[in-house]
Structure 1
């Protein structure tokens, strides 16, 4: 069976078809390895040229927001930190904040255990998250897809005050996660490399889980609380125990290129006003709200 559907509902323009071919019908794994190697080359001149070429395709690249303006490698630029105060965090304890800068994608209610990556393209929670306990927890809950464009700030942060006691890593493919691919590749997020991180809070009737999903050119996912770097080269155990505590807004880790985070929430959460598909959101902005009666 083909790994994608091209139905009238999901038909693509010629421009979109070209985008899909150029970013997916290529040796995705080897190109990702290459970018991982290339991005670590220590050369200020090569890095400056590379960033200039990159800016031709990413008009919204804002390096003036970075703590440092000169980079020794492309990887330093990809994983840049921002100047203090540029991402104020909503501190209301009933608010779940965005864990990253992103474009809001598919979101809404989980219909039983069915989640949508794009209109007409559902997948089952069990196909994305292997843990049966979490599968049951988020039935009829909420979800939101947050896409980090390559030009965006690539670090992600705790959306609530929480503890993390393990990370589940699932190796996989490196399909592009842009809207063009999501309209064409069935169950794309379930095919790609990803991690599952349950956030434990002091609200027993509420739950949040993050699923960072890697993609083409994403050389690795790095979590600040793990010694291992999770990438296509990682051959270790799939369950990585840890002991980490975070205040809301604390940095958790970063992608080495743009990608996606899918946030799952229990049914008592609602989306904040203004959250709709295609809207840009900053890390720390209000994303969802819970109800004190569920605390």
Structure 2
């Protein structure tokens, strides 16, 4: 007499019903492991999204037969943010009908708390598209320049971190650091010279400090979507070199900056370096999600978020020429560049040990206000 193998009663609720497809699942997972890395990521990506989105751990049984979801960080890094940002940039450039401009821009103003009383042009019908509105200019008296202190804030934003650079590590947000050399790349003045690469963490930092009794300092300013998106020269200095790092365009929101280590080193960025009266000085504009454009006013050759540039490389340009042996002089408060939407400014500079920041972590700051002084 044949015996039935059908599960009944408590056995049905004990999870034994999952034993039947395990062999087939293991075979299928074995096929996945033979795939190339890009193909495996492509096949695993939708399943991982469902794993994190579906309630009650619906896909957890798959982990019992050998499948492992991508981490949330890896999943986010695999999103084609460069392509999406280019598409967003094209969408922002579409001219809005005159009757639609005020409703669309009013919604943006309400969502992000934009103060239109400071705008040079308050009439919303003047802005043909979202891109023009993002890059709006301010009234001349809206941001008075502090003339007492040697350094001012180059933009509106929120102070994420500031202080001395120690052990060649820069603070991204409180408690999260990244490598100074990874962020800036090889020293522009010694890259092609007969100088040996830095053999210890402090060597690269010491190469940047040109004067005795000086220290290296940093300051990170996050620009929110509702902020004024132009940035200016924080002090009197000379720009001698530009380095463009094509890269990802992940969000630089402080929450994401705490989540992803070395976020600023992964993202696309433009490093302007040179010197001020105390030695080395650099200003870096870091791109972000939906920020398909970083523009430097005096650099007409710069093209950011372009398909022709591959991630993991960098492109150098020197402003020191036979006709201009010093570089591009910048005055404190002078227009320097602009973002298309919000992002981050990172200052890394050399100064005497008695340099003092007039800042608090997390404070809101506006362009022209005091950043620090001797």
TM-score, structure 1 length as denominator? 0.82
CA contact (8 A) 1:113 1:140 kept: no
Matching residue within 253, 256, 262 for 2:340: 256
Whether 1:168 and 2:227 are equivalent positions in the alignment is no
CA distance in 1 between counterparts of 2:99 and 2:329 reads: 39
Greater relative contact order (Cα < 8 A, sep 6+): 1
1:280 Cα deviation after fit: 0.8
Cα separation, partners in 2 of 1:217 and 1:47, compared to 1, 3 Å: farther
| Greater Cα radius of gyration, structure 1 or 2 | 2
- Aligned runs of 1:7-156 on 2, under 5 Å? 26-43=79-96, 44-58=98-112, 60-69=113-122, 70=124, 71-92=127-148, 95-132=150-187, 135=205, 136-137=207-208, 141-156=216-231
Corresponding residue number in structure 2 for 1:12 = none
CA contact (8 A) 2:160 2:174 kept: no
- Higher normalized helix content (fraction of residues): 2
Cα separation, partners in 2 of 1:67 and 1:122, compared to 1, 3 Å: same
Corresponding residue number in structure 1 for 2:329 = 245
Matching residue within 357, 360, 369 for 1:272: 357
1:112 Cα deviation after fit: 2.2
Corresponding residue number in structure 1 for 2:280 = 207
* 3-state DSSP of counterpart to 2:292: coil
CA distance in 1 between counterparts of 2:110 and 2:82 reads: 24
1:248 Cα deviation after fit: 0.9
CA contact (8 A) 1:106 1:277 kept: yes
* 3-state DSSP of counterpart to 1:141: strand
Whether 1:226 and 2:310 are equivalent positions in the alignment is no
* 3-state DSSP of counterpart to 2:273: strand
Where does the alignment leave 5 or more consecutive residues of structure 1 unmatched? 1-19, 291-295
Q: Show CA shifts across 1:243-267 (max 9, x none).
A: 4222210001100110000111214
Q: Give the CA RMSD over aligned residues.
A: 2.5
* 3-state DSSP of counterpart to 1:85: helix
1:81 Cα deviation after fit: 0.5
Cα separation, partners in 2 of 1:72 and 1:83, compared to 1, 3 Å: same
* 3-state DSSP of counterpart to 1:128: helix
1:102 Cα deviation after fit: 1.1
1:24 Cα deviation after fit: 7.3
CA contact (8 A) 2:82 2:292 kept: no
Name the stretch that deviates more: 168-177 or 240-249. Answer: 240-249
CA distance in 1 between counterparts of 2:75 and 2:253 reads: 12
